Structure 1
Amino acid sequence: MNTNRLTGTAATAIALALALGACGSGSDDKGSSSPATNDARGPITFATGKDLTGTIQKLVAKWNTAHPSEKVRIIELPEDGDQTRQQLVQNAQIKSNAYDVIRLDAVWTAEFAARRWVLPLDESKLDPSTFLPTALETGKYRGKLYAAPWLTGTGILYYRTDLLKAAGVKSPPKTWAELSDACAKVKKTSQGKGVDCYAGQHDKYEGLAVNYSEAVQSAGGRVFDDSGKPQVATPQAKAGLQFLVDGFKQGTIPSKSVTFKEEEGRRAFQDGKLVFHRNWAYVYAMASAKDGSSKVNGKFDVVPLPGKDGPGSGTLGGNNLSVSAFSKHQATARDFIAYIVSLDIQREYGKEQSFPLSRAALYDDPEMIKLYPYLPVLKKGLEAAGSRPVAVKYSEVSAAIQDHVTAAISGKKTVDQASADLQTALSGLTD
């Protein structure tokens, strides 16, 4: 695989992962008037992230050649997710028509749809049945599709094949207990000395909310039920939080990882300092680098996240595409979205970058699997993944989770107290 190409790809994926933390707030503008829709055609803009590989530019150029009177101009948004959301919100608040097609983080759908800043999409143009079902759900709000799935992803478990083999561990863990047992065996080997067991993203930011949600789901619980009510004080949710608390207390999760975001953990794993690591798909390419930057090239593999009693459940990430409610050429915007998320164009895009895409067929495509061997594992993870809360006030939800989970893993609160306090906090945000 082209290392230089993947370096740019990884940077894109990192920016996307960081964007997971930049989520909406505010109330549901139920009383606001619906924006005017139109079937007008003409030139449009595409507000998206930095195109570090140049692939999006190529795909847009292909569209422009075929549609000379409906050309697309790319507008690159900031790499920082908070700044991206702020820029999109500011444009929507003044009803600016500067953007026609906008790229939204998967958890921004509810906010932008509730405030009527984006319009429902014509599903007949998109063939929804061919998307990964979990990815499709991230684009919906109150049963309607407002954002077409484009980039997706979920957490997967990276593990050191060489260390497990040296310790006599025959298969990667499917449960938390198996993970802990495997680490104990590795530490008894000469190769395992000085190697920590497991780390995810445990700093106080959106990554902690994601890791907490995954732990709850992997214990059989849910942060919110189907009606949007918090369920974080259930025995299953407490078991998920207990996994994180016990991990730090017992040393399964090293204390220093309380400051880990995606990149800190990635570097630790890539430098050979972790047996197991939870992260996104972009790490695979970087850890496979043959230029000397990775000490684990050829010495690792991936599996779905483990859980309390069996395989666990990751949290969905990703970016989707929506039509701005203030676009002057909405028909062209809708058609461009259908083009860019189509199977053939996604396949073309996927060959040039490693961030997972939303069409299910790509995960069974031999050519794509040859490029990205982790795809079958990722598909299993995506099928079992859960979405983050569909909440207009998502930023407040995430902040509450971060506050109370941090209090628990730092020992300032018991699991029972942190869970009860979090239940109260979340109830106040969703009532």
Structure 2
Amino acid sequence: MNSKLFAGAASALALTLALGACGDSGGDGASAPAANQGRGNITFATGKDLSGTIQKLAARWNAAHPKEQVRIIELPEDGDQTRQQLVQNAQIKSDAYDVIRLDAVWTAEFAARRWVLPLDETKLDPGTFVPAALETGKYRGKLYAAPWLTGTGILYYRKDLLDAAGVKGPPTTWAQLQDACAKVKETSEGKGVDCYAGQYDKYEGLTVNYSESVQSAGGQVFDADGKPQVTTAQAKAGLQFLVDGFKNGTIPSKGVTLKEEESRRAFQDGQLVFHRNWAYVYALASAKDGTSKVNGKFDVAPLPGKDGPGSGTLGGNNLSVSAFSKHQATARDFVQYIVSLDVQREYGKEQSFPLSRSALYDDPAMIKQYPYLPVMKKSLEAAKGRPVAIRYSEVSSAVQDHVTAAITGKKTVDQAAADLQTALSGLAD
């Protein structure tokens, strides 16, 4: 998924994050009001409603709740600006926003500072959510944000080029990916086509891609206790894959300048055999209006890994109730409405973002409209969230600094891993 449309990642549509540094439970949110049962008109602070679908869903709510109307407030498209606006609003304890849309990695900060309220998980039918998506809404065991949009990186591949090279099926390991590229390059159709690219510019997307490489080698950036683990053999193997990719040409040298859109255009223009990106690329690459040179020539698969299928990094947007809302009961009901299965299905018909209810990934009508859903479901089962950290922006910046140094040859893998371990140890909660 596009990190811009996620107001964060790679920030996913990303997809662009700048979480501040602050203590766990003190600071600006320490005197936040307790939950109330107030009812009345509310506001929903969200991203740009590009399809107009959110307005339609709000209109349906308003028709059924004449005394509890919802008004949509569209926040900036840029993730940093969106977060800044939400933070400033919370710091002055404003009741301007009742329901707020948070990037999945903002949960810890907003919950720790008491800017959003815990939600009653039982009223949301938690067992019907994609498990990994549900976890992104939690902080210290409590649910503070209801999962809405989710998604993870998937592998786009040129099926026509693999067929021409006699390669049967997409790769499940990095070695198979490299072998397939070598075979494609031997064909006339594969001349001048680069092998593989994700997002390696120095921004949130690099954090996402590095995390995926570490996870896909059997490692983890942080363990369950929040301690960094980037100097393990598995974590260093993930970084080595990226470093070697640039050295041996698996990843083209221009990869250090690629974000979601630049890499998407490279694949869509026929310049790549394999491409890691979010689900939004599927519709664009399938365009029949002449904007895509790979329409009908590609397919998707889960990301490959070191010794088998890899693990993607989870992206997503969740919905929270502001601690400063005067109509929190209405706000909670509206959150339940928006993330309900039927409303998510309606939303899904109008746009291609993967949603948080598991049943949508097995819905025949949805699969017909979005053929990538079975692959996305399988990928989500193996996906992992980014670090749960109040000081997330500093964590991400540290990753970007040291990984960039490694892939550009300024540091060895061992040195970059050691330096990153030291940096992250000082940021762990």
Asked whether the two chains share a fold, i.e. TM above 0.5, the reply is yes
Q: Offset at 1:14?
A: 8.4
CA contact (8 A) 1:244 1:409 kept: yes
Q: Is this contact kept in 2: 1:23–1:107, CA < 8 A?
A: no
1:67 aligns with 2:65: yes
Structure 1: distance between partners of 2:327 and 2:270? 52
Structure-2 separation of matches of 1:91 and 1:361: 36
Give the equivalent residue in structure 2 for 1:128. 126
SS at match of 2:108: helix
Answer whether contact 1:37 1:330 (CA < 8 A) is retained. Answer: yes
Q: CA deviation at 1:29?
A: 3.9
Provide the C-alpha distance between the structure 1 equivalents of 2:303 and 2:14, rounded to a whole number of angstroms.
22
Cα distance between partner residues in 2 of 1:29 and 1:255 = 41
Letter matched to residue 81 of structure 2 = Q
Match of residue 376 from structure 2: 378
Q: For residue 20 of structure 1, report the CA deviation from its aligned partner.
A: 3.4
Is the partner of 2:371 in helix, strand or coil?
Answer: coil
Report the alpha carbon displacement of residue 366 of structure 1 after superposing the two structures with TM. 0.2
Counterpart residue identity of residue 397, structure 2: A
Cα drift, residue 94 of structure 1: 0.3
Counterpart of 1:28 in structure 2 is: 23
TM-score, normalized by length of structure 2?
0.97
Q: Aligned residue for 1:429?
A: 427
User: Does the CA contact (< 8 Å) of 2:6 and 2:317 recur in 1?
Assistant: no
Q: How many angstroms does 1:28 deviate by? A: 2.7
Q: C-alpha displacement at 1:11, in angstroms?
A: 7.8
> Would you say the 8 A contact 1:113–1:119 is kept in 2?
yes
Tell me: CA distance 1:50–1:216, structure 2 relative to 1, closer, same or farther (3 Å).
same
Residue in structure 2 matched with residue 95 of structure 1 by the alignment: 93
Deviation digits for residues 212-256 of structure 1 (CA, Å, limit 9, x no counterpart): 000000000000000000000000000000000000000000001
Question: Residues 388-403 of structure 1: matches in 2 within 5 Å?
Answer: 388-403=386-401
AA in 1 matched with 2:309? P
Q: CA RMSD in A?
A: 1.3
Deviation sequence 1:169-210 (CA, Å, 0-9, x none): 011100000000000000000000000000000000000000
1:344-383 residue pairs with structure 2 within 5 A?
344-383=342-381
**Distance across 2 between alignment mates of 1:101 and 1:391:** 22
Structure 2 Cα separation of the partners of residues 235 and 170 of structure 1: 31
Alignment partners' CA distance in 1, 2:202 and 2:55: 36
Q: Specify the alignment match of 1:301 in structure 2.
A: 299
Percent of aligned positions that are identical = 82
Q: Match for residue 274 of structure 1?
A: 272
How far 1:123 sits from its partner (Å)?
1.2
Query: Could you list the per-position Cα deviations for residues 153-180 of structure 1 after superposition, in whole angstroms to 9, with x for gaps in the alignment?
Result: 0000000000000000011100000000
CA distance in 1, matches of 2:93, 2:24: 15
Aligned partner of 1:262 among 241, 244, 260: 260
CA–CA distance in structure 1, aligned partners of residues 346 and 93 of structure 2: 34
Query: 402, 410, 413: which is aligned to 1:412?
Result: 410
Q: Secondary structure at the match of 2:426?
A: helix
More deviation, 405-414/117-126: 117-126
What TM-score do the two structures reach when normalised by structure 1? 0.96
Mapped contact 1:110–1:392 kept (Cα < 8 A): yes
Instruction: Call closer, same or farther: CA 1:206–1:27 in 2, change over 3 Å.
Output: same
Ranges in structure 2 where 5+ consecutive residues have no aligned partner: none
Report the number of matched residues: 423
Superimposed CA distance per residue, residues 116-150 of structure 1 (whole angstroms, 9 cap, x where no aligned partner): 00000011220111000000000000000000000
Describe the superposition over 1:17-44 as per-residue Cα deviations: whole angstroms up to 9, x where unpaired: 3543314121234242453210010000
Alignment match, 2:53: 55
Measure how far apart 1:13 and its partner are.
Answer: 6.1
Deviation at 1:12, TM superposition (A): 4.1
Give the 3-state SS of the residue equivalent to 2:402 in structure 1. helix
Q: Is the 8 A contact 1:18 1:80 kept in 2?
A: no
Which shifted more, 10-19 or 316-325? 10-19
Q: Hey, what's the Cα distance between the residues in 2 that align with 1:227 and 1:370?
A: 41
- Residue 156 of structure 2: SS of its match in structure 1? strand
Tell me what 1:211 maps to. Answer: 209
Of the three residues 76, 82, 106, the one matched with 2:74 is: 76
Distance (Å, rounded) in 2 between the aligned partners of 1:407 and 1:170: 36
2:147 matches 1:152? no
Contact 1:238 1:416 in 2 (8 A): yes
Q: 1:23 to 1:139 in 2, by over 3 A?
A: farther
Matched, 1:242 2:240: yes
What secondary structure, in the 3-state scheme, does the structure 1 residue paired with 2:427 have?
A: helix
